[in-house]
Amino acid sequence: MRMVDLIEKKREGGELSDDEIRFIINGYMNGDIVDYEMSAMLMAIYFRGMSERETLTLTLAMRDSGDQVDLSAIPGIKVDKHSTGGVGDKTSMIIGPAVAACGIPVAKMSGRGLGFTGGTVDKFESIPGYRTEFTMDEFISLVREHGISMIGQSGDLAPADKSLYALRDVTGTVPSIPLIASSIMSKKLASGADKIVLDVTVGNGAFMQELDKAKELAGRMISIGNGAGKKTVALLTDMNEPLGYAIGNNLEVKEVIAALQGDGPDDLMEISCALSGMMLSLAKDISYDEGKALAEEKIKDGSAFSKFKELVKAQGGDISFIEDPSKFKTAPVSSELTADKAGYISLIDTYALGIASGRLGAGREKKDDIIDMSAGIILHKKIGDHVVPGESIATLYGGSPGRPDKPLQVIEDNLQHVLHDIKSAFTIADERPDKNPLIHEIMVTIHG
């Protein structure tokens, strides 16, 4: 087989065979296929797409390129949840304890912040002492003992995706549905769960801005999951404003603590309970509504909060911060973003807020940057809320971006720049806008 022939075949709209796809992935991983050949293939896929069979084979080849987690030592059905990303999305920290409180094992590996989105691992690490790195044996022991463990990615899962993603990033080939679907699902399939719930976000703070594109992506991921023998369902959720009010690591943890004590924002609770309900439905073979009601009950009666504390303690976190969130570090500087006219918040540039939070110190510009756990944004107003001139829409908390020891004046200047840049992120209109539904659709099968 020659790579150039396969590139030409895909360029002309042909369908690659399973053997050809495995030849490409294996060849790229062992160095026989080089970056310029792979780049040409990615571009051909970008323009010509892939059939469902090709996408499944590509995903399985990427899954098979590295370690695969074996969760069989944990009794029961393991259901994983994956979000395609958003701003202020702290649902995993609520869902994990809520599902575990229902007796379903939660063995969750999460990622760090990426671009405009935060990461669950970074959020957990804002709890002093909380460890996110464990060996696979320790991870499995934690789940067996506590019914839950939430850690960073352990092992070398889907290294082919890692290499391909880096290449896609610099060749303009990221936004391709088969490439995104196979990238996400190769890692999910390698993480060992029996069933998968996907939260496919849609809106101006999501990878997919349009509902039909999000549906297409969700459909392709469902088809891959089911094709690989793992029952997969997807919820299409709205990301046209941040979830909840907090963006930034310890700010979000504080919101999670309140939520688990029954005082969470409506949107955050609705999405968290919906996703938990779907996980419980798959794990317990009950209806989605029954699963959702069960999750709501475990949050209401405090057992999800107890499970959260148990998790934090088991992974070395200082529980006194959970019991008294005022102990969390506060940012050295803060400033208000105020309304310049009266009206209703009609539009929020969610992506811009995600970027702004990162610039304040909550995210990384370079891989090795140190996050400031206290940095971020607290919203006071969301879409549909009324404001009067001078009223605060949001408070910005300025931390030390990149490294922990910046002079106060640098932090203050940075805060003022970010404040200036996000003034236009909020649109104020005379009329109260209609709210988007929070859950656009639940997809249990592939939409054509």
What residues line the site for ligand URA (CB under 6 A)? Answer: 165, 174, 179-180, 183-184, 207
Q: Given the complex with ligand URA, which of 184 and 422 has the nearer CB atom?
A: 184
Amino acid at position 387, single letter: V
Q: What is the DSSP string of 363-432?
A: S-SSTTPBP-TT-EEEES--TT-EE-TT-EEEEEEE--SBSTT--HHHHHHHHHHHHHHTGGGEEEESSP
Is 349 designated active site?
A: no
Strand partners, 228: none
Residue 196's φ and ψ, nearest 5 degrees, are: -135, 130
Question: Cβ 184 to ligand URA, closest distance in Å?
Answer: 5
Residue 323 is which amino acid?
E
Q: Which residue is nearest to ligand URA (CB)?
A: 183
* Shortest spacing between CB 299 and ligand URA, in angstroms: 29
Does the active-site annotation cover 183?
yes
State the catalytic residue, choosing from 10, 187, 298, 440: 187
Tokens of 91: 């649902």
Is residue 440 flagged as an active site residue? no
Phi-psi region of 302 (alpha: psi -120 to 50; beta: other; left: phi over 0): left
- What DSSP state is assigned to residue 432? P
Question: Which is closer to ligand URA, CB of 85 or CB of 147?
Answer: 85
Tokens for 288?
């989605």
Q: CA angle, 427 as apex, 423 and 430 as ends, to 5°?
A: 135
Q: Which is nearer to ligand URA, 28 or 207 (CB)?
A: 207
Shortest Å, Cβ 103 to ligand URA: 30
The one-letter code for the residue type at 3 is M
DSSP one-letter string for 329-381:
---SEEEEEE-SS-EEEEEE-HHHHHHHHIIIIIS-SSTTPBP-TT-EEEES-
- Residue nearer to ligand URA on the CB measure, 189 or 375: 189
Residue closer to ligand URA, measured from CB, 84 or 276: 84
* Minimum separation from the CB atom of position 65 to ligand URA (A): 15
* In the complex, least distance from residue 187 CB atom to ligand URA, rounded to whole angstroms: 6
Strand 343-348 with 386-387, pairing: antiparallel
Closer to ligand URA at the Cβ: 119 or 147? 119
**Three-class SS state of 129:** coil
Minimal distance in Å, beta carbon 163 to ligand URA?
13
Query: In whole angstroms, how close is the CB of 63 to ligand URA at the nearest point?
Result: 13
The number of CA neighbours under 13 Å toward the Cβ of 441 is: 14
- Minimum CB separation from ligand URA for residue 165, in Å? 6
Pair of tokens at residue 368? 């090795």
Q: Which is nearer to ligand URA, 203 or 399 (CB)?
A: 203
Sequence-separated (6 or more) residues with CB below 8 Å from residue 162: none
- According to DSSP, the residues that pair with 114 across neighbouring strands are 117
Which CA distances in Å does 438 have to 139, 242, 336, 435?
Answer: 34, 11, 28, 9
Residue type, 444: V
Judge whether 317 and 405 are in contact, CB under 8 Å.
no
Please indicate whether residue 168 is annotated as part of the active site: yes
> Any catalytic annotation for residue 213?
no
DSSP state of 433: P
In sequence order, the 6+-apart residues with CB closer than 8 A to the CB of 85 are: 114, 117, 201, 206, 207
Helix then strand count (H, E) for the chain reads 17, 13
Question: Do 100 and 76 form a contact (C-beta atoms < 8 A)?
Answer: no
Tell the smallest beta-carbon distance from residue 175 to ligand URA (Å).
9
Active-site residue identified among 183, 186, 191, 400: 183
Q: Which is nearer to ligand URA, 62 or 256 (by Cβ)?
A: 62
* Contact yes or no for 98/272 (Cβ under 8 A): yes
Q: Please tell me which residue in 63, 90, 112, 168 is annotated as part of the active site.
A: 168
Instruction: Say which of 80, 89, 122, 161 is annotated catalytic.
Output: 161
Alpha-carbon Rg for the chain, nearest whole angstrom, is 22
When the beta carbons of 207 and 328 are compared against ligand URA, the nearer one is 207
Catalytic residue among 82, 215, 381, 382: 82
Residues belonging to the active site: 82, 161, 168, 183, 187
